[in-house]
Structure 1
Amino acid sequence: MIEITPRNLSGEITIVSSKSLSHRYVLAASLAEGTSVIENILDSDDLVATKNALISLGAKISGNKITGSKIHCVNNQIDAFESGSTLRFLIPIAMLQDKSITFNGSNQLPYRTLSVYEELFKDKYEFIRPSDKFLPLTVKGILKNGVYPLRGDISSQFITGLLYALPLVEGDSKIELTTHLESVGYIDLTLDVLNKFGIKINKVNDGYIIFGNQKYQSGNYYVEGDFSGAAFFIAAGLIGRKITLKGLNPKSLQGDKKMIDFVRQMGGKIEELNDGYIVYPSKLKGITIDIGQTPDIGPILMVLGALAEGETVITNASRLRIKESDRLEAMVVNLKRLGAKIEYLSDDSVIIYGNDTFKGNVTVSSYKDHRIAMSMAIASIKCENNIKIDDETVVSKSYPSFFEEFTKLGGIYK
């Protein structure tokens, strides 16, 4: 537990490397022939899980050097920790070979749905799990080509997993989307990284054509800064003092770059640099924000909505409920503890009535969720008195240096 003393943050920091891109580069390099050098890989719990999993499937990883291999079983037990990306990306990859692999995980991961894969694989492959949760899960291939109908409104991670695996099978395949695709920005990232490693995939109206018998080509790449992590410090600059954020690519394909557009619509002043942004204190106004494509920035946008003039409506937030926590409910509870007025409009939308400050002398919960903990830390800037967060260590999942940066910008906690 930590206790934070309210302080405006100001100064300059370099944003942590992108978790989404780190996963994708490490995975592609592990499937490639030869050795790749991937600079600026995020050092977080999730990436440790992904690296360990790929080593269990034959890759050699030492620092930023990754030597790929044809997938084979080195260790038939894979611990995904709490990482949904690791689990969902690696299941089809593990099925590229013919030995059983068992996946496990901790906290809420065993209860995060794998139904998309289950519907695809259960009748054709070994796909065994307990009746009351999804992990431990034992799978066995060998994965075949074919037409794979997938929902696009549960998680893009399932699509990414197949986009990585299917180019390595015999024969061509198609991913056929059966619903509207949400979080399309993450698929754009996937396709961009695959293209860099020599994998060709055709986008069609209802999905993707994946050519079989392809080979990943090794290369040297640099992981750009993370807009999902930057969102918290963008918010800090808007409600505190001027903050300069370096290490961000204004031309990035990351979906959470949409944070810039959202806060500008709210009246936020943000200046673009070649390698980042300058964020200025701004008087924000409430707007309606559809987070269907960008659920990870939903919690911090709810903090800003509670401090904006007028009413902020957050819509299409259903996917917040199936993350490391039920983030929608977690934020509603925590913001109410801080004195905000917030109401559900439906199961996946809320209305927030803005105020100038939050009250203090309360303890809020992280719900064992990194993005909830970071959102509450930023909310402390506008608290009238100290607040406590029950578990700050959860930020190690995606932003291990978050509280170091928080302190560097003037934050105080004990």
Structure 2
Amino acid sequence: MAVVEIPGSKSVTARALFLAAAADGVTTLARPLVSDDTEGFAEGLLGLGYQVVREPGEWRITGRPQGPGTDGAEVFCRDGATTARFLPTLAAAGHGTFHFDASAQMRRRPLGPLTTALRELGVDLEHHGQDGHHPLSIRANGVAGGEVTLDAGLSSQYLTALLLLGPLTRTGLRIDVTDLVSAPYVEITLAMMRSFGVEVQREGNVFSVPPGGYTAARYPIEPDASTASYFFAAAALTGREVTVPGLGRDALQGDLRFVEVLARLGAKVEVGADATTVTGGALTGGTVNMRDISDTMPTLAAIAPFASGPVRIEDVYNTRVKECDRLDACAENLRRLGVRVETGRDWIEIHPGAPKAAEIATHGDHRIVMSFAVTGLRTPGVTFDDPGCVRKTFPGFHEAFAAWAARQD
């Protein structure tokens, strides 16, 4: 049995950094993810005047319930969507003027539904380029609270940002969500808020968040389920076995449900109390709705050509507004490999084939690289035009993946 230690969750680390910064007291994060995205978030907090001490295996954040301590701060959010969406929201609860910008890649990604909601809550917010995108400035004077309507059909991060803001408002928030994608990520947020002392009431798609702030905690970061998907897929593709400790029945992350997809397609899956094991088998085709686990869509697309029948992935429009248009990127690269593919607005269908060697066009997207690395296990000669972009979430991915592939059971 091959055991693979997966780095901490990016999604959990980002939420924990927000919660820690907003909490009363000193929070310790155990085993946080160390990557370009999370380092960017931590640097953003430092720029805003928060105290962040980073040591191997442990980060300590001294909270400032009153908000940022550096008026006039200029924060560069790099490529991180959570950084770019969460930090302006955190700053809005404070007092002062704060400026935010991001990479060219992140500038292309939409913020509009979130910034519209913040404006409806009375936040003085100005976009300096294209409306609904970075760069932007916030002239903060706290947030009173109240009711707001939100469309989270492109990203659940818009809703998470408002949920995290709620306890920092004077009267709390009532959020009426008209559309929601990647709903399991919202469940992560709600569970983590409970760990920091806040209970959100939910009735359907209406979320009521009480005021009162957060309490500091010691918080362990579980392994990243999206990253684990590449190793699970590798086992499914090669007929081997992989076990990921730290991801079991009580895991927060919905992306662990990717193993259910693999089970439907022929892999053997065991989800235990504190670990998940996938053993490969003959892969079959089928239709899969991946709306709630869309970050793992490229993982499935990359192994789909080796199934015995077509694999159709549906309801993943939001993957078009990620680091790149992932639907088109997957289709482009599968065609480079000689695989027959069709796509629509929110779906992709991949036919069985025998992929041939090709260079993968990564579009600077870490998930395209890591997904097609799995394809390379059965297709010698797969290369990447930008293999280093994995630093966004897993700087040591290539070494860890090569070590797993070389290991004999």
Give 1:312 shift: 0.9
Match of 2:392 in 1: 397
Deviations 1:202-242 (A, max 9, x none): 11223111112x12111112111111000001011111222
Match of 1:227 in 2: 225
Comparing 72-81 with 13-22, greater Cα deviation is found at: 72-81
Q: SS of the counterpart of 2:276?
A: strand
Over the aligned positions, Cα root-mean-square deviation in angstroms equals: 1.7
Aligned residue among 9, 25, 28 for 1:34: 25
* Identity across matched positions, percent: 28
Answering whether residue 401 of structure 2 is matched by residue 381 of structure 1, we say no
Task: Please report the TM-score for the alignment, with normalisation by the length of structure 1.
Answer: 0.92
Deviations 1:165-198 (A, max 9, x none): 121111132011122x221111100011100100
Match of 1:277 in 2: 276
Comparing 198-207 with 273-282, greater Cα deviation is found at: 273-282
Match of 2:404 in 1: 409
Match of 1:130 in 2: 128
Answering whether residue 171 of structure 2 is matched by residue 171 of structure 1, we say yes
Match of 1:217 in 2: 215
Match of 2:73 in 1: 76
Match of 1:152 in 2: 152
Give 1:273 shift: 4.0
Answering whether residue 355 of structure 2 is matched by residue 358 of structure 1, we say yes
Runs of at least 5 residues in structure 2 that lack an aligned partner in the other structure: none
Match of 2:364 in 1: 368
Give 1:277 shift: 2.5
Match of 1:6 in 2: none
**In 2, Cα distance between the equivalents of 1:248 and 1:202?**
27
Deviations 1:234-253 (A, max 9, x none): 01111122223223233212
Match of 1:7 in 2: none
**In 1, Cα distance between the equivalents of 2:292 and 2:206?**
17
**In 1, Cα distance between the equivalents of 2:326 and 2:43?**
28
Deviations 1:241-266 (A, max 9, x none): 22232232332121101101111011
Q: SS of the counterpart of 2:331?
A: helix
Q: SS of the counterpart of 1:147?
A: strand
Task: Please report the TM-score for the alignment, with normalisation by the length of structure 2.
Answer: 0.93
Match of 1:3 in 2: none
Deviations 1:265-320 (A, max 9, x none): 11111233443223222101111111111110000111122211111111111111
Deviations 1:360-402 (A, max 9, x none): 1x2111110000011111110111x312111111111111221
Match of 1:321 in 2: 320
Match of 2:16 in 1: 25
Residues 410, 310 of structure 1: CA spacing in aligned structure 2 closer, same or farther, 3 A cutoff?
A: closer
Contact 2:50-2:68 within 8 A present in 1 as well: no
Comparing 325-334 with 104-113, greater Cα deviation is found at: 104-113
How do residues 210-359 of structure 1 correspond to structure 2 at under 5 angstroms?
210-212=209-211, 214-240=212-238, 241-344=240-343, 346-355=344-353, 357-359=354-356
Contact 2:85-2:158 within 8 A present in 1 as well: yes
Comparing 365-374 with 101-110, greater Cα deviation is found at: 101-110
Contact 2:50-2:69 within 8 A present in 1 as well: no
Answering whether residue 94 of structure 2 is matched by residue 97 of structure 1, we say yes
Match of 1:195 in 2: 194
Between the two proteins, the alignment pairs up a number of residues equal to 397
Match of 2:140 in 1: 141
Deviations 1:19-54 (A, max 9, x none): 111111122111111112110000011111111222
Comparing 199-208 with 332-341, greater Cα deviation is found at: 199-208
Q: SS of the counterpart of 2:247?
A: coil
Match of 1:50 in 2: 41
Answering whether residue 85 of structure 2 is matched by residue 88 of structure 1, we say yes
**In 2, Cα distance between the equivalents of 1:112 and 1:171?**
31
Contact 2:248-2:271 within 8 A present in 1 as well: no
Q: SS of the counterpart of 1:15?
A: coil
- Of structures 1 and 2, the one with the larger relative CO (CA 8 A, separation 6+) is 1
Contact 1:97-1:140 within 8 A present in 2 as well: no
Contact 1:15-1:248 within 8 A present in 2 as well: no
Match of 1:61 in 2: 52
Give 1:153 shift: 0.9
Contact 1:58-1:68 within 8 A present in 2 as well: no
**In 1, Cα distance between the equivalents of 2:197 and 2:375?**
44
**In 2, Cα distance between the equivalents of 1:306 and 1:57?**
47
